[in-house]
Amino acid sequence: MQPSAWSSCGIVAAVAALTACCGCRMDGTNAKSAEAPAVNADFYVATNGNDTWSGKLSAPSPDGTDGPFATLERARDEIRRLRIGGALNAPVTVCLRGGTYRVRKTIEFTPVDSGAEQAPVTYVAYPGEKPIISGGRSVTGWQKGDGALWTASVPAVKEGTWYFNQVFVNGERRTRARTPNQGYLYTEGILAPFDHNHWGDSAMLAKHGFIYRDGDIRPWKNPKDALIVIYHSWTTSVHFITEMDSEKRTVKLAPHSTWPIGYWWEYNTRYHVENVIEALDEPGEWYLDRGAGVLHYWPMPGEDMATAEVVAPVVQQTLLSFKADPQMGLYVEHLRFDGLSFQHTDCYIAPDMPTDQQGATERKPVLDAQGLRSTTFENCEIAHAGENGVWLDAGCQDNMFRRCHIHDLGGSGVYIGPRVRGDTPETAVQRNTIDNCFIHDGSNLFRGSQGVWIGRSSYNQVSHNEISDFHHLGISIGYCWGYAPSTANHNIIEFNHVHHICNGYFSDGGGIYTLGVSPGTVIRNNRVHDVVPTPLMPDGGTGIYHDEGSTGILDENNIVYNVGIPFHQHYGRENLVRNNVFAFALRSPVTCARAEEHLSYTFEGNIVLSKLGEATSAHYSPLKSKTAFNRNVYWDISGKKPSFSGGDFAAWQATGRDRDSVIADPQFYDAANHDFRLKPTSPALAMGFKPIDTSQVGLYGDKDWVSAPSKVKRAPLPDLPPPPAPPPPRPFLEDFESTDTGTRPATCNCSPADKPDLIQVTAEVAAAGKKCLKVTKVAGLQYSWQPHLYVSSRAYKAGVVRFACDVRNDATQPAEFTVSLRDYSPGPGEFRDGPLVTFKPDGTVVANGKDMTKLPLGTWVHLEFLVDLGEPGMAATAAKTYRLALTATGAPEQVFDAVPYANPAFAQVTWFGFSGAEQPGGVYFVDNLRLEPMRK
């Protein structure tokens, strides 16, 4: 079992006591401060109530004829009835007694349930009590089973009316049986080679499955319920197995992944398998047998199943819904919720579910709001959720979440705004506040999630929150890639304590993250630390991360330390980074990934405290972009002079950067123990650095609330074994026999994508078998090198590689085309041609600018490249030539040795392809593609 990131028992009890202090008072004051719990409500709800009673009493009458309502819905309906009848024009308070209210479906509020500015409707906890609105059901009747296992019969599961994806025991989440218990399995290969820069049919095929390593996927007892959880660069996807070929070791999945499996840096992609009984092998794991209707559980040490409270969710995704039509001017507004706890929702997992692109935005929340305005949630709890916590979507304005405890989530904490643009003044999401909330322990099921997410929404405030233990991001602002117009602006992110993010799961993540154009957005006075990337991709785990198109953002007075990269900008425009402390990078302190013509960012008045001898990155060098640096203080705790993008400080200053900056000890009081106050003699103060007051960062209020995060007990990050060595590239073989005529082979990439008739399988001719690929060149294509057929391969870096194919240039309409091998290792979009041969319309074959031979048209020609890449690690000493062999049907083989590479820097085989030329027309045929290693 993967241990929970935190221990819930003590902290939940402490926070429960805090939220139970709310009082049923018309004026909304806290009853704890009153001499006696003055209960003055219009309606009451209690677990021992009755929906046929008046709801006017806080407890059942002695004769049992009257008392509180039994459900929140009944109180809502009574207020609705009175409001429609015109009998209510004053504030209304509904007071809920303590206890657990089990609900079977989502509770909905509509515009008719609204209050008014001077007459709000309040739902509040009874003084000293904690009402829990639970979407769960108790699982009872536990019996001792085989070995350490216990079982409980769940008839509704066997009948097909209930199924659940989560189990909670004594208030704590338990782990569905999985393998491995910690760490990952690794794919061995992809279903089809694809181009990382231009997705084609092969990339689409690679979304649907992978090649697995021997023994990792097996014929389990119940494979239909088995789940494959795949880890991409910044998110995960969950899949069912639809097809398995044990001989080829291929598995196909549903739904397909958003990203081609193997796309993001990790060719041998991580995954784990869950929901198979064979993986139920340690304490804390469970498995639900759908067919038998039996829940199997291995108790944790000390758990007594005779007294344990086991809860499984019945309500799927959303427990509380606010439904309005803001486009028509209809809102739910002027409500107040105080001291209520919303718990136990399930997640939706099915073959037709959408998969995540970023941020777990395909997942639904416990509290879902459309058109909610001027509503407050205070002292509330959201916990044990299958997916996300809160979503303030279209038309949500002027809402407040204050002093709320949001935790134990399958996905993210709070979402503000929609994912896509299209808002009007009525549907705009703006002026919402998340303040003084403790948001933690998410990403339990959908790991690419975050504490707070602001999409296309403006004028929001996220302040004084404690956000921790999410595996992708702490706070995310903006949801628009690049420089397209965005409706995410003027958001204020301040005084938040953000920590323990990524947690070794992902690298492309961070503490505070921005995306897209965000003028007026301010990130200030935050404390960000312990953002730990996966060791499989150590370049990541960022403190403040400005991703694609981030523009017009101010970062000031932040303290960032113990993260992979304290400040990173992928690309953006005119951001200002000033008066921050960036300390103790695990990799590089300051970076900039993309070169652009405009000013990317200004970096001034900051303190950079390093420990690895580097101040600015050499790999993601700010020198590549237009960046402005000045009045900064740099220091490396080793006492050595830090390097600047691979050079010394003088060379860095010669570029016009940091002319008024210094390398000097900033004189923190105790940086090693994260006390970043400056001594009066600090050179940073002399240069104008403004001291950063951290006393206001994080939660505020009474001592118990402020100290709640200190009660979290995190398990250390597991010390995982290194991944297995990647296998050698798999041979590529394609004879087109299994592809329907008139279509394109899924194993190859074809361009242009919108003209499928230019590259398609045909039965007109074939070198062997009955089919081949026909390529037709026509006038008017966008690029001269189209039509273009290519295959991207895992890199061959050493040894002898053989490429072979059969080509036939049409006798009636001969084409000019090239066949080549490429090395794309320099980076995206950059390549080096190695073997490159051009077939001319007159039959001439040209290699490296030299006519090699002339072959008959309308005849199949077998082509072969033999490339010796040298011994492992010795590519620089390998010959820069290849062997070319050409054999026309019925003619002897022609061999040309030591043909020079087109580019002598060619060192790896990562790609092969066929390209057009300047000639406006022509037809040629291709068959029997093969790329494989050879023995010398």
3-state secondary structure 838-858: EECCCCEEEECCEEEEECCCC
Taking the CA atoms of 366, 368, 372 and 373 in sequence, report the sign of the dihedral they define.
positive
Closest CA to 401 of 375, 427, 383: 375
SS3 412: coil
Composition of the chain by helix, strand, coil, percent to 5? 10, 40, 50
Q: What is the DSSP letter of 720?
A: P
Q: Is the pLDDT of residue 36 over 60?
A: no
Q: How far is CA 110 from the centre of its chain?
A: 32
pLDDT-based confidence at 84, cuts 50/70/90? confident
Distance separating alpha carbons of residues 370 and 351, to the nearest angstrom: 27
**Which residues belong to CATH 2.60.120.200 in the chain?**
732-934
539 vs 226, which has greater pLDDT?
Answer: 226
Which of 415-424, 738-747, 879-888, 900-909 is the least confident region? 415-424
Identify the burial level of 300 via C-beta atoms within 10 angstroms of its C-beta, where 0-12 means exposed, 13-18 middle and 19 or more buried. Answer: middle
Q: Quote the longest CA-to-CA distance of the chain.
A: 109
Segment holding 14, helix H or strand E: helix 8-19
Assigned token pair, 418: 């929609």
Phi/psi of residue 158, each to 5°? -65, -35
Give the E-state strand segments of 304-426 in sequence order.
310-313, 320-322, 332-333, 335-338, 341-343, 365-369, 372-373, 376-378, 381-385, 388-392, 400-402, 405-409, 414-416
Residue type, 289: D
Buried b (16+ CB within 10 A) or exposed e, 25-46: beebeebeeeeeeeeebbbbbb
Q: Span 366-393, mean pLDDT?
A: 98
Q: How confident is the model at residue 535 (pLDDT cuts 50, 70, 90)?
A: confident
Of 269-273, 282-286, 307-311, 419-423, which gets the smallest average pLDDT? 419-423
Please give the helix or strand (H or E) that residue 653 lies within, else none.
helix 649-653
Neighbours of 812 (CB within 10 A): 8
Q: Give, in order, the Cα–Cα distances in Å from 232 to each of 268, 744, 822.
A: 11, 28, 26
Q: Which of 495-509, 600-614, 790-804 has the lowest mean pLDDT?
A: 790-804
Q: Could you read off the pLDDT of 830-883 as tens digits, one per residue?
A: 799 999 999 999 999 999 889 999 999 999 999 999 999 998 877 777 889 999
Where are any strands of DSSP class E within 33-184?
A: 43-45, 92-96, 99-102, 107-109, 121-125, 131-134, 136-138, 143-144, 150-153, 168-169, 172-173, 175-176, 178-179
Q: What is the mean pLDDT of residues 516-528?
A: 98
C-alpha span between 366 and 839 (Å, rounded): 63
Q: What is the DSSP letter of 346?
A: B
pLDDT tier at 32, thresholds 50, 70, 90: very low
Distance of CA 681 to CAs 572, 669, 815, Å? 36, 11, 77
What pLDDT shows up at residue 590? 97
Q: Rg (Cα) of the chain, in Å, rounded?
A: 32
Q: Are 787 and 756 in contact (CB under 8 A)?
A: no
Residue 825: what pLDDT? 81
**Closest C-alpha to 560, from 587, 577, 576, 582:** 582
649: DSSP letter: H
Burial of 711 from C-beta contacts in 10 A (0-12 / 13-18 / 19+) = middle
Average pLDDT of the residues in 768-777: 96
Confidence tier at 200 by pLDDT (50, 70, 90):
low
Over range 252-276, report the average pLDDT.
87
Confidence tier at 324 by pLDDT (50, 70, 90): very high
Helix count (H) and strand count (E) of the chain?
7, 77
Residue 196 pLDDT class (50, 70, 90 cuts): low
Is there a contact between 648 and 621 (Cβ–Cβ < 8 Å)? no
Distant-in-sequence, close-in-space partners of 667: CB < 8 Å, separation ≥ 6: 678, 679, 681, 682, 683, 684
Better-predicted residue by pLDDT, 201 or 340: 340
Residue 111 burial (CB count, 10 A): 17
pLDDT at residue 877, as a whole number: 76
Written as six digits, the tokens of 76 are 């809502």
The span from the CA of 921 to the CA of 925, in Å, is 14
Lowest mean pLDDT among 74-88, 870-884, 907-921: 870-884
For residue 596, what is the DSSP state?
Answer: -
Rounded Cα gap, residues 481 and 518, in angstroms: 11
Most confident of 355-359, 418-422, 572-576, 781-785: 572-576
The model's confidence at residue 8, banded by pLDDT at 50, 70 and 90, is very low
- 874 or 10, greater pLDDT: 874
Percent of the chain at pLDDT exceeding 90: 80
CB-based contact 362:386 (threshold 8 Å)? no
pLDDT-based confidence at residue 34 (cuts at 50, 70, 90): very low
pLDDT (0 to 100) of residue 562: 97
Q: Please give the mean pLDDT across all residues of the chain.
A: 92
Residue 146 CB neighbours (<10 A): 8
Q: What is the C-alpha to C-alpha distance for residues 727 and 792, in angstroms, rounded to an integer?
A: 16
CA distance 559 to 666: 14
Contact at 8 Å (CB) between 125 and 95?
yes
Site of tokens 């782990």: 175
Residue 306 has what pLDDT? 95
Give me the helices (H) in 59-165, please: 72-84, 155-158
Given a cut of 80, is residue 583 above it in pLDDT? yes
Q: Quick one: pLDDT at residue 17?
A: 53
pLDDT band of residue 194 (cuts 50, 70, 90) is low
**Listed residue (217, 224, 316, 209) closest to 262, CA to CA:** 209
Structure-block tokens of residue 763: 């039965």
Q: Residue 828: which pLDDT band, with cuts at 50, 70 and 90? A: low
Residue 526, C-beta contacts closer than 8 angstroms, at least 6 positions apart = 493, 494, 495, 496, 497, 498, 511, 512, 558, 559, 697
Peptide bond into 255 cis (omega under 30): yes
Structure tokens at 416: 């503000």
Q: How far is CA 127 from CA 95, 339, 932, in A?
A: 9, 9, 74
pLDDT of residue 776: 96
Q: What is the pLDDT of residue 266?
A: 65
Output b/e per residue, 331-367; b: 16+ Cβ within 10 A.
bbbbbbbbbbbbbbbbbebeeebebbbbbbbbbbbbb
Pull the structure tokens for residue 336. Answer: 């107040």
As a whole number of angstroms, the distance between CA 462 and CA 151 comes to 45
Tokens matching residue 681: 């003699």
| Predicted pLDDT at 5 | 42
Question: Quick one: average pLDDT of 513-542?
Answer: 94
Residue 668 C-alpha from the chain's centroid: 36
- Which stretch of 136-140, 307-311, 500-504, 710-714 has the lowest confidence by average pLDDT? 710-714
Question: Each residue of 80-91: b (16+ CB within 10 Å) or e?
Answer: beebeeeebeeb
Phi, psi of 112 (to 5 degrees): -70, -15
pLDDT digits (tens, 9 = 90+) for 650-686: 999 999 999 999 999 999 999 999 999 999 999 999 9
Q: What is the CATH number of domain 732-934?
A: 2.60.120.200
User: What average pLDDT does the segment 265-277 reach?
Assistant: 88
Structure tokens at 308: 């344990």
Query: CB neighbours of 751 closer than 8 A, spacing ≥ 6?
Result: 198, 200, 783, 786, 787, 788, 790
Q: Using alpha carbons only, what angle is made at residue 428 by residues 425 and 430, rounded to the nearest 5 degrees?
A: 120
pLDDT at 15: 53
pLDDT in tens, 704-739: 999 999 998 898 887 877 777 777 788 899 999 999
Distance, CA of 866 to CA of 882 (rounded, Å): 6
